[in-house]
Amino acid sequence: MNFLSVACPFCSLHCDDLHLHYDGGHWVLISPTCPLATRKYKDWDPITAGPSNPVQEAVKILNKAQQPLILLTGSMEQEVVLSAVNLARATSAYLVRDSSYAENISSAIQKAGLLSCTLADLPEPTDQVVILGDDPHGTLPRFWEFVGNNKKEKVVWVQTQNIFESIQGLRLQNKGLKTSFSKEIEGAASRIAKANSGVVFANAGSISENENALTEVLLWMKELGDLKKWYGQVLPSSSNELGISQGMRSATGYSDGMIFRKRKIYHDPRSFQIEKIIEYHELDALVIIGDADHLPRHILQKMEGLTTVILSPEKPSFQTDVWLPCPRAGIDAQGTMLRLDGIPIKLESLVRSGRTLIQNSLAQLIQGIIK
């Protein structure tokens, strides 16, 4: 039996974890080989029927809307981002993300002076690995295979619940200041100080829970970057999170928090956040592009009562006015995703579902609105 391994869309490592086999003249997708992909692939259901004429319904909503908001959430291929920007421009909409933590941390890591690199270029096994937050294994099942399972023994773990104190301890210890921190911190600081180079992995999902910790983490990283050859890498919580940021920046200059007025873009990431916009601005339509069920509960609650159009591969579990079913890149559509280290990976379409590509649906919306 012939097997073919193809890149998987379900986490930001995009390993070749989907297996096809050749069966009587055609390739059949049989199974993913990692637990996360297995679970997500099982949930994927291209058969669920969508509503009839969803594009016309969505166009009606957008034509009536004075002030729409377009929200990008979860994972989507890079090709969609440009179309989302075009829709925002055509409707003078707000354009926001549900989360920019990974992007903010990634950008801050780089600007702190830490080097970054692709996974095969990570420092040799003798060097030090620091993990900020939870073990990435849950969201990136093959993480340790890329980093090297042998490095697991050398890891300094900085757990989420006491991240602020731990980092503060590491900083003070590194500066040789007397502190009353635990022996673990002292040991970790000593190992980091001895290492000629190392890598810090920052689990975005964990750090985002503590704003103070982020500032402390960045100061610490800056100190590391000033001293030695240290690398930093954010671990995003959803697939292609950094790719969406990159796509947004390429199209607009910014990665989040903007509003379109005629040909101009106004950027204010502090004010133009999903919750604040819903709370303080007169919105009359919400377009969600991506996995809507990925949204946190508190945002879903705030959305209640808003006229909503959703373009996503899965049928949302909550009430919506229009749902446009879309294919998923890497399963029933082609599309480009950015691996967490910045390498663009072109995902292939493996099966046919007949669903319209998101960018084509968005183009139809724009065409309808202009008419």
DSSP at 333: B
Q: Virtual CA dihedral for 14, 318, 358, 33, nearest 10 degrees?
A: 20
Site for another protein (CB under 8 A): which residue of 31, 53, 63, 118? 118
Beta-carbon count within 10 A of 256 CB: 23
Grouping H, G, I as helix, E, B as strand and the rest as coil, residue 5 is strand
Instruction: Candidates 163-171, 183-191, 202-210, 247-255: pick the segment binding another protein (CB under 8 A).
Output: 247-255
Q: Work out whether 33 is an interface residue with another protein (CB under 8 A).
A: no
Beta carbon nearer to another protein, 28 or 343: 343
Site for another protein (CB under 8 A): which residue of 18, 195, 251, 288? 251
Instruction: Candidates 115-123, 167-175, 274-282, 319-327: pick the segment binding another protein (CB under 8 A).
Output: 115-123
Instruction: Candidates 28-36, 87-95, 126-134, 248-256: pick the segment binding another protein (CB under 8 A).
Output: 248-256
Asked if 80 contacts 334 with a C-beta cutoff of 8 angstroms, the reply is no
Query: Any residues with CB less than 8 A from the CB of 249 and at least 6 apart, and which?
Result: 255
Site for another protein (CB under 8 A): which residue of 182, 250, 301, 367? 250
Asked if 348 contacts 26 with a C-beta cutoff of 8 angstroms, the reply is no
Residue-wise over 37-58: b if at least 16 C-beta within 10 A, else e?
Answer: beebbeeeebeeeeeeebbebb
Site for another protein (CB under 8 A): which residue of 89, 328, 339, 355? 339
Q: Work out whether 215 is an interface residue with another protein (CB under 8 A).
A: no
122-161 footprint of another protein as x/- string (CB under 8 A): ------------------------x---------------
Grouping H, G, I as helix, E, B as strand and the rest as coil, residue 306 is coil
Asked if 297 contacts 28 with a C-beta cutoff of 8 angstroms, the reply is no
Phi, psi dihedral angles at 72 (to 5 degrees):
-100, 130
Contacts with another protein by CB under 8 A lie at 5, 7, 14-16, 78, 82, 107, 110-113, 115-121, 146, 229, 246-247, 249-255, 267, 336, 339, 342-346
